[in-house]
A and B are shown apart, each in its own frame.
Chain A
Amino acid sequence: MGRRILITGIDTFWGSMTAKSFEADPTVETIIGLGTSDPKVELERTECLRADHSYSIVSRIIKSTKVDTVMHTFMATETSAFSGRMLNENNVIGTMNLLAAVGGSPSVKKLIVKSSSLVYGSSPQDPYFFDENSKRPSLPKLRIEKSMIEAESYVKDFAQDNPHITVTLLRFSNVIGENVTTAITKNLKKRILPYLFGFDPSIHLIDEEDVVSALVFAANSDLEGIYNVAGDERVPWSEIGSIAAARPIPLFAYATNLISAPLIKSGIVTITPELMDLMKYGRGINNTKIKQTGFSYKYTTSAAVAKFCKLNQLRINLGRAKPEYKYQKEIESFFKHSPAVIGESTTSNE
């Protein structure tokens, strides 16, 4: 029997793309995707299921499908699309339900959790490079940070209580890519980059492709424990703007939300609370531990930005977005399960 994989967050870009790369792997027999909405990418043999934000049905799914690997990619690492309450529901309660389900199932051998370097925070007391064991010097203030730290603490307890399950926790830096929607990409798509006047901290970015390949790498190897995943190079904020050909928009560094309210409320610039600290103090991440296990990054921070810029210019010059994939349940289930389908089920608009 081949590998049986459950992917949560199939409706996120990484969930879909991870599923897609597993589809190409012949050792993977079954892929089950769980998401709160429909998948973003056309999937061939992944079984997609809808769930609510707290993933209450996950236990039933794991019991009945006997999956051996669970990829937990649905934790929200960015608040631009989430309200505070939903964050808690999604990150904390969702992770708790998932862990309870995985722990109760004898079939699961491996659990991979996608987390974020947001758990390290961003403050003046920070070391220049956080490694996996670094303690966070500042107290978490933001709701998203608190929710992720809480979710991670559940994962750590779970790993201790279930030594027979290989638990891998990947902490990704801020992601950039034309398919991901974060405050940074939203701004850069408009070719602007807000900054706090007088501050120019350095940050890491990771390309969306590298996120997916790190997740797949973790599933295909015996990694255990916590790993930072961030593009090489720590690049100053201003330089990210200049590589992306974005116009810098200065914001006043104190009482920013109040003074810059017209810019922010009108939607001209997108600012999230977690971006505010990042624009002041940045965040450095030591990404060597995962490299030592054999993983290699395809893009550096600057290359990821340059690639994003190129694709964005193409999109602007074409004057329209890429044709978006629309998931249609009846059609998908016809191709996957109907006895009438005897040939290739893929469509050709790939």
Chain B
Amino acid sequence: MEKPTKSDQIKSVESKIVKLVDKVGDNEPESYRQSDVDRWGRSESIRKLTGKLFDPMYTKYFRAEWEGLEKIPTKGGALLVSNHAGAIPPDAPVIMHGIEKELNRPVYGLADFWFRTLPIAGTLWNRGGGVPAHPSNAYGILHDDQQLALVFPEGSKGPSKLYKERYQLRRFGRGGFVEIAMKSGVPIIPIAVVGAEEAMPILTKLPSISKALNLPYFPITLNQVLLTPFLGPILASVAYLPAKFKIRVLDPIHFDVPPDQARYSKTKILDESENIRLRIQDAIYDMLAHRKNPWLG
């Protein structure tokens, strides 16, 4: 991710040529930028740093194992769609870090705009590639920039479910992610993740506290119960259990509709959305059927 890719190099050469040609007419306005924060707020250098910090977690702790990684394109836009779980969901950083490490291309994580309201954490989230899941943002990343974006259509309904409901996919929103992929003319690549549920299982939730603190949900996790005597209450709330992560990339779905339409058939959108949800659900059942235990895989 630190080295410019071939297509970037070609692009920069192209832009230089364009600049030379343009010199005859108007000059391209100059830039005095000092940081590498891109137009979505992502900083390659901060991403590299957090990647370095997260890598031991990814390789040693969660021992993430990919299947079908070759189905993710090395260039061009694509919308990655995955299931979402764990009180503080670890699947987002695992998928993003994994793809950036293995395929050497950035992934933008689309998430609730609530993150923007957090001081410090919200800024770090944004610099690390987090972008509010607004349709126009997704379109810009997928269509204009031809990048990868990751979205969890379950939203906060996924991570907030109790441990006894584990691996039962929630409703996939209103299918907005399908519409965005259609509009942007990019395929959807479903991803099934196993392991996040066990990394931070929710035993119960305290709605009165979440309401008072204006949080989406306030969980009591197994981690807090097990680890508080050793780590204290704060660290125990953020420490994960060493679940084994398995990630399976499913076949990409291409839509046979023209891009950039004002509206798409709601029937088709909801059908496709449900179809993707079922495919991820089936893959998860298949993976769980082959799993001996949550910690060793």
Contact = CB atoms under 8 A, between A and B. Distances in A.
Interface string B122-136: 110000000110111
A335 interface: no
A125 interface: yes
Nearest to A236: B37
B205 interface: no
Nearest to B35: A239
B123 A233 contact: no
Contact of B29 (A126, A199, A232): A232
A236 B32 CA distance: 13
Contact of A299 (B29, B118, B120, B122): B29
Contact of A202 (B26, B30, B37, B119): B37
Interface in A254-309: 281, 284, 296-300, 302-303, 305-306
A281 B114 CA distance: 12
Given A128-B136, A202-B41, A236-B35, A298 B122 contact: no
A129 interface: yes
Contacts of B119: 196-199, 253
Interface in B101-148: 113-114, 116-120, 122-123, 131-132, 134-137, 140
A124 B32 contact: no
B292 interface: no
Contact of B32 (A125, A127, A128, A305): A305
A235 B39 CA distance: 8
B111 to A, nearest CB: 12
A300 B123 CA distance: 24
Interface string A87-123: 0000000000000000000000000000000000000
A235 B43 CA distance: 12
A299 B116 CA distance: 29
A300 B122 CA distance: 27
B134 A127 contact: yes
Contacts of B29: 231-232, 296-300, 303
Contacts of B7: none
B40 A128 contact: yes
Nearest to B127: A200
Given A127-B137, A235-B33, A200 B123 contact: yes
A302 B31 contact: yes
B34 interface: yes
A231 B39 CA distance: 13
Interface residues of B, number: 28
A239 to B, nearest CB: 5
Nearest to A242: B34
Interface in A235-250: 235-236, 238-239, 242-243
A134 interface: yes
Contacts of B34: 239, 242-243, 302
Given A124-B132, A296-B26, A303-B31, A198 B140 contact: no
A234 interface: yes
Contacts of A299: 29-30
Nearest to A134: B136
A236 B41 CA distance: 8
A124 B33 contact: no
A124 B123 contact: no
Contact of A128 (B26, B35, B122, B140): B140
A175 B40 CA distance: 22
A233 B33 contact: yes
Contacts of B118: 198
B43 to A, nearest CB: 9
B32 A306 contact: yes
Contacts of B132: 124-126, 128
Contacts of B113: 124-125
Interface string A220-236: 00000000000111111
A198 B116 contact: no
Most buried by B among A124, A234, A242: A124
Nearest to A202: B41
B191 to A, nearest CB: 24
B136 A127 contact: yes
Contacts of A253: 119
Interface string A7-37: 0000000000000000000000000000000
A5 to B, nearest CB: 25
B33 A239 contact: yes
A128 B137 contact: yes
A295 to B, nearest CB: 10
B39 A234 contact: yes
Contacts of A197: 119
Contacts of B136: 127-129, 131, 134
A200 B128 CA distance: 13
Contacts of A281: 116
A242 B35 CA distance: 10
A231 B134 CA distance: 23
21 contacts: A124-B113, A124-B116, A126-B132, A126-B134, A127-B135, A128-B131, A128-B132, A128-B140, A129-B39, A134-B136, A198-B119, A231-B29, A233-B39, A235-B37, A236-B41, A239-B35, A296-B26, A296-B29, A298-B29, A300-B31, A303-B29
Rank and list the top 4 A-B pairs by shortest CB-CB distance, nearest first. A198-B119, A302-B32, A127-B136, A306-B32
Interface of B: 26, 29-35, 37, 39-41, 113-114, 116-120, 122-123, 131-132, 134-137, 140
Interface of A: 124-129, 131, 134, 196-200, 202, 231-236, 238-239, 242-243, 253, 281, 284, 296-300, 302-303, 305-306
Given A128-B41, A134-B136, 4 more contacts: A124-B117, A127-B137, A296-B29, A300-B31
